[in-house]
Amino acid sequence: MSETSAVAPRHLTFLRRLESWKPAEIAFWLALVGVYFAFPTSLVFASQILITGIFAMSLDIILGYAGIVTLGHAAFFGIGAYTAGLLAAHGWSDPFLGLLAAGVAAGIAGYLSSFLLSRGSDLTRLMITLGIGLLLFEVANSATDITGGVDGLQGVVIGKLFGIFSFGLYGRTAYLYVLGVAFLLFAFTRSMMLSPYGLALRSMRENKTRALAIGIPITRCLTDIYTIAAVIAGVAGALLTQTTQFVGIDVLSFQRSADLLVMLIIGGTATMYGGFIGAAAFLLVQNSLSDVNPQYWQFFLGILLIIMTLYLRGGILGGLGKLTGLFRSRRNKERP
Amino acid sequence: MNPILQTRDLWKAFGGLIVTKNVNLSLARGARHALIGPNGAGKTTLINQLTGVLRPSSGSVWLDGEEITRTAPNERVYRGLSRTFQINTLFPRLTPLEAVASAMCVRERSRLNIFKRRVLKVSRRSGLIDEAYALLQLLNLEKDCLAETHTLAYGKQRLLEMALALAAKPKVLLLDEPAAGVPEGESDELFEVLNNLPKDISILLIEHDMNLVFNFADRITVLVNGEELVTGTPAEIADDPRVREVYLGKGH
Amino acid sequence: MLSILGVIFDGLAYGSLLFVISVGLSITLGLMGFNNLAHGVFAMAGGYLLVTLMSKAGIGFLPALPLVFVAVALGSLVLERTLYRPLYKSTPLIQVLLSVGIIFIATAGANFMFGSGQQPVTIPEWLTGQVSLMGLDLSRYRLFLMLVVAGITLGLIFGLERTRFGAKIRASVDNQRMAESMGIRVERVFQLTFALGSGLAGLGGALGVDVLGLDPNFAVKYLVYFLLVVVVGGPGSVLGTLLAALLLGVADVAGKYYVPQMGAFIIYAAMIILLLLFPHGLLGRRNAK
């Protein structure tokens, strides 16, 4: 009796400590603000990294937390990009409107395609996601009147942020805009993953049979999470359109989906930050290597993937996680 | 006397192979009912049909007066039907506390608004955590509640298996060989746990450990080749020559 | 102006190539459940090897084919032992990543060694041109292709159904644990099957240089097609793969011919629809591992 009230609160505080914002996290976000001041000439590139990070985070939600392997996630990124682009090219240039529309469009697409994923094996699902992505690419490729085809969508004009700040050439406004959106999306996703809903997702990932047996509505959860991930990917796509004022057809490409997967693996799944770390690592290295020779980049990537799959599971953050995990389990032993 | 769980003329066939033959099983309220039979008799297949993982070829399943033959598995859990698995089917990287909390959250679904379910962190749900912890205490698992499941000893995992089923506060509990793989010395702990289960839960137990069965059950059904051979009290079953024949072969 | 029969003929020829290349993937997927997206690399290797043998070593087209088969088969064994085998028990994601890594290396390597353009191949004189059959002018090469593939198919089916090794393969695909307990060395069966399948892929790639084209992006370009054929046909089923390959071959050729603006659209839509209707493939079986 007295044991419950004495011991359980200790577990509660332990859990609370696990779930609170760690100093490393706060440092991370402050550092991102710092980039604005420290690298004023590279802000365009920095925005790209952040946008890709958001995109990778949206993949992490379904891959790392819900366990769905997909090779077609770029579909939602592309839908968001084109929606925002088309909106802007036809006169509605308010940035937030673009984000909203992109999110809704991508969300609807995600919702609809989630129904295609409920049947069949892992490989079937992979194929279906791949197929959807390729299908959309072909559609965009053919509908040149609307999308501009291979040449891309031109005439994208972005209005002023809050009606005051205009998007200049150096990408300063753009960077803060992207950073703000990134943080909001991150905070939202983070709290969702720490909620009972996130717990249900992880249960599903860990053991689908058992999750079903304790009453988790698997199909509904999958549909939900796939839709949410699609919305976030769509917003990321819109951000890209708005900050580059252009939509290229590669936003829908298989290459983009595959690269994203690689980035997430490099960074580590299910850690919330893996997407950002992976995107940063990938893009920074790609930037330096592909100037030399694009084939070296591809070759290097291939070798990296092989080494990682054979020896290093969990990516950069996974490796770090193992270290802190060791530390944590030692502290666990001191628990009653 | 209306039973809490019932199958009516249940049949299941895989192609030409009939695995469940006209089974009319009745689980009385508060009962401790054991289902025994040789390997391959179709016991687990029957459980799978009760939980909704398998769709019967014909016949119906009833829970507390309502037909659930077409109801989805997760919905059946919500209505009060829980099960354990013969082979530990747990969440490897979740801690027991998380796993039990997860199972408990599901129970609350409609009563919980979206904000609490999707935005509020688990650790803020102190009531939930306390409840989960209390359940783990009941099963002597509270010491390991913060270790990842895959690090626990086999016996502890077996207990967690049961905890997950109990977390949903079921009306009916289906136990699929809870003693499977548990060594002689630890089976006492398991037996004690089984005995201490709340009397208002009705239990259907599949087991091979006859010691456990005869000490625990107040009613036994013998299943052979997917068909019900006989149902009765432990004494009746023990005396029945047909049962002995099934287990020991003719001429005993 | 191609008639419908002509389109079908072309589609069947194309489909038979897809079959030869994909059948190895189907068996190994059904056997070990290993998600090898890099299977196309073997086909690509076969193609490049053929071109090299013919241009650098002066070997003729027909004699080069069996050499390609053997070389790719042996090469695949090396890959299997070093890269694939450690990951058999791993998650699909890891396997996918490994195969993507292999694709990247192969593509970069091909680019480096052969340049990024299409590889031309000179097919022997007697296989060029057309043959008049039933009022149609059919390409001799495509006819040759179909005959070769028909032969291979018959050989495969005979091998699977009539030989002891074939029985071992079928048993292992059906139920691995059971096969092991019956004394079948599943790992050895798998190695040989893998080599056979990869060799066939190499052969298919070599035969297909003229029809499918050959450039460093081959493995990626046709990745979807191979996976498609295997998944739709059902992993582990030779006949299923054949059926799916022929069907998709005809659908793709017909689609591109009659509705060129839609292009590849048709095949992806067809794939999605087929997968929804038959989540486990047209003739697929669920494996008990």
**Count of CB atoms within 10 A of residue A82's CB?**
29
* Closest chain B residue by Cα to residue A334: B143
Domain boundaries, chain B: 5-248
Chain B adjacent subunits, 3+ CB pairs under 8 A: A
Would you say residue B192 has pLDDT above 80? yes
Average pLDDT of span C127-147: 79
What is the pLDDT confidence band of residue A318, given thresholds at 50, 70 and 90? low
Would you say residue A76 has pLDDT above 90? yes
Range of the domain at A236: 22-293
Average pLDDT of span B30-39: 90
Out of A22-36, A45-59, A299-313, least confident range: A299-313
Q: Please indicate, yes or no, if residue A15 is contained in any of the structural domains.
A: no
* Structure-block tokens of residue C44: 């690509």
- Which CATH number is B5-248 given? 3.40.50.300
pLDDT of residue C73: 93
Q: C15 to chain A nearest CA, in Å?
A: 19
Would you say residue B251 has pLDDT above 80? no
| CB contact (8 A) between residue A116 and residue C276 | yes
What is the pLDDT confidence band of residue A300, given thresholds at 50, 70 and 90? confident
The contacts of residue A333 (CB under 8 Å, 6+ apart) are none
Would you say residue A246 has pLDDT above 80? yes
3-class SS at A79? helix
In order of A96, A155, A278, the CA distances from A55 in angstroms are 18, 24, 11
With CA atoms as reference, report the closest residue to B84 among B59, B48, B124.
B48
Of residues B85 and A171, the one with the higher pLDDT is B85
With CA atoms as reference, report the closest residue to B47 among B61, B30, B29, B31.
B61
| CB contact (8 A) between residue B106 and residue A12 | no
What is the pLDDT confidence band of residue C222, given thresholds at 50, 70 and 90? confident
CB pairs under 8 A between A and B: 134
What is the pLDDT confidence band of residue C38, given thresholds at 50, 70 and 90? confident
**Spatial distance between the Cα atoms of B219 and B236, rounded to a whole number of angstroms:** 9
Of residues A13 and B96, the one with the higher pLDDT is B96
What is the pLDDT confidence band of residue A324, given thresholds at 50, 70 and 90? low
- Give the percent of chain A with pLDDT over 70: 88
Query: Which ipTM did the prediction report?
Result: 0.86
Angle at which helices C164-174 and C4-32 cross, to 10°: 70
Count of H-run helices and E-run strands, chain B:
10, 11
Q: Please indicate, yes or no, if residue A329 is contained in any of the structural domains.
A: no
3-class SS at A22? coil
Contacts of A199 in chain B (CB under 8 A): 94, 98, 101-102, 105, 122
Question: φ and ψ at A271, to 5 degrees?
Answer: -115, 5
With CA atoms as reference, report the closest residue to C191 among C91, C79, C37.
C79
**Spatial distance between the Cα atoms of B81 and B65, rounded to a whole number of angstroms:** 13
Contacts of A19 in chain B (CB under 8 A): 121-123
* Closest chain A residue by Cα to residue B141: A336
Average pLDDT of span B108-115: 60
| CB contact (8 A) between residue C264 and residue A138 | yes
- Facing residue for A199 by CB, picked from B90, B101, B130: B101
| CB contact (8 A) between residue A11 and residue B133 | yes
- Facing residue for B102 by CB, picked from A8, A200, A218: A200
What is the pLDDT confidence band of residue B114, given thresholds at 50, 70 and 90? low
Chain A adjacent subunits, 3+ CB pairs under 8 A: B, C
pLDDT of residue A107: 95
pLDDT of residue A320: 58
Mean pLDDT, all residues of chain A: 82
pLDDT of residue A333: 45
pLDDT of residue B120: 73
DSSP string of C56-100, one letter each residue: HS---HHHHHHHHHHHHHHHHHHHIIIIIGGGTTS-HHHHHHHHH
Stated as kind and residue range, the H or E segment containing A53 is helix A43-60
Q: A145 to chain C nearest CA, in Å?
A: 13
| pTM recorded for the entire structure | 0.82
**Spatial distance between the Cα atoms of B218 and C257, rounded to a whole number of angstroms:** 74
| CB contact (8 A) between residue A207 and residue B73 | no
Contacts of B168 in chain A (CB under 8 A): 214-215
In order of A54, A101, B119, the CA distances from A187 in angstroms are 12, 21, 10
pLDDT of residue A332: 45
Q: A330 to chain C nearest CA, in Å?
A: 28
**Spatial distance between the Cα atoms of C16 and C271, rounded to a whole number of angstroms:** 18
pLDDT of residue B112: 54
pLDDT of residue A326: 54
- Facing residue for A298 by CB, picked from C104, C275, C276: C104
Q: Please indicate, yes or no, if residue A312 is contained in any of the structural domains.
A: no
**Spatial distance between the Cα atoms of B67 and B225, rounded to a whole number of angstroms:** 26
Domain boundaries, chain C: 4-126+137-277
Say if residues A66 and A205 touch (Cβ distance below 8 Å).
Answer: yes
**Spatial distance between the Cα atoms of A162 and A173, rounded to a whole number of angstroms:** 11
| CB contact (8 A) between residue A131 and residue C272 | yes
Would you say residue B30 has pLDDT above 70? yes
Hey, what long-range contacts does C127-131 have (CB within 8 A, 24 or more apart)? Answer: C127/C61
Task: Name the B residues in 64-123 with CB < 8 Å from any A CB.
Answer: 72-75, 77-78, 82-83, 85, 89-94, 97-99, 101-103, 105-107, 112, 116-123
Classified by CATH at the fold level, domain C4-126+137-277 comes out as: ABC transporter involved in vitamin B12 uptake, BtuC (1.10.3470)
Greatest Cα-to-Cα distance within chain A, rounded to the nearest angstrom: 73
What is the pLDDT confidence band of residue A178, given thresholds at 50, 70 and 90? very high
What is the pLDDT confidence band of residue C178, given thresholds at 50, 70 and 90? confident
Greatest Cα-to-Cα distance within chain B, rounded to the nearest angstrom: 67
Hey, of A199, A204, A326, which one would you mutate to test binding to chain B, going by the most B CBs within 10 A of its CB? Answer: A199
Hey, what long-range contacts does A66-70 have (CB within 8 A, 24 or more apart)? Answer: A66/A201, A66/A204, A66/A205, A66/A221, A66/A222, A66/A225, A66/A226, A67/A204, A67/A205, A68/A117, A68/A125, A68/A222, A68/A226, A69/A122, A69/A125, A69/A126, A69/A129, A69/C92, A69/C93, A69/C96, A70/A125, A70/A126, A70/A129, A70/A257
- What total of structural domains would you count in chain A? 1
DSSP string of A123-143, one letter each residue: HHHHHHHHHHHHHHHHHHHH-
Would you say residue A1 has pLDDT above 70? no
Contacts of A4 in chain B (CB under 8 A): 130, 133-134, 137
| CB contact (8 A) between residue A214 and residue B137 | no
CB pairs under 8 A between A and C: 124
Q: Please indicate, yes or no, if residue A97 is contained in any of the structural domains.
A: yes
Q: Give the CATH number for residue A246.
A: 1.10.3470
pLDDT of residue C289: 29
What b/e sequence results for B153-183 when a residue is b if at least 16 CB atoms lie within 10 Å of its CB, and e otherwise? eebbbbbbbbbbbbbbebbbbbbbbbbbebe
Contacts of B105 in chain A (CB under 8 A): 196, 199-200
Contacts of C87 in chain A (CB under 8 A): 309-310
Would you say residue C215 has pLDDT above 90? no
pLDDT of residue A91: 80
Average pLDDT of span B12-31: 89
Hey, of B93, B118, B130, B173, which one would you mutate to test binding to chain A, going by the most A CBs within 10 A of its CB? Answer: B118
| CB contact (8 A) between residue A213 and residue B85 | yes
| CB contact (8 A) between residue C271 and residue A295 | no
Of residues A295 and A28, the one with the higher pLDDT is A28
| Tens-place pLDDT, residues B195-214 | 888 888 999 999 888 888 88
Would you say residue A130 has pLDDT above 70? yes
Beta-bridge partner residues of B66: B63
Contacts of A138 in chain C (CB under 8 A): 262-265, 268
Mean pLDDT, all residues of chain C: 83
The contacts of residue C210 (CB under 8 Å, 6+ apart) are C121, C123, C141
| CB contact (8 A) between residue A196 and residue B74 | no
Q: Please indicate, yes or no, if residue A333 is contained in any of the structural domains.
A: no
Give chain C's contact residues with A (Cβ, < 8 Å).
Answer: 29, 35, 83, 86-87, 90, 92-98, 100-109, 111-112, 220, 224, 227-228, 231, 235, 261-265, 268-269, 271-272, 275-276, 279-280
* B134: contact with A, CB 8 A cutoff: yes
- Give the percent of chain B with pLDDT over 90: 29
Q: Using a threshold of 3 CB pairs under 8 A, tell whether chains B and C touch.
A: no
What is the pLDDT confidence band of residue A102, given thresholds at 50, 70 and 90? very high
Out of A226-230, B31-35, C97-101, least confident range: C97-101
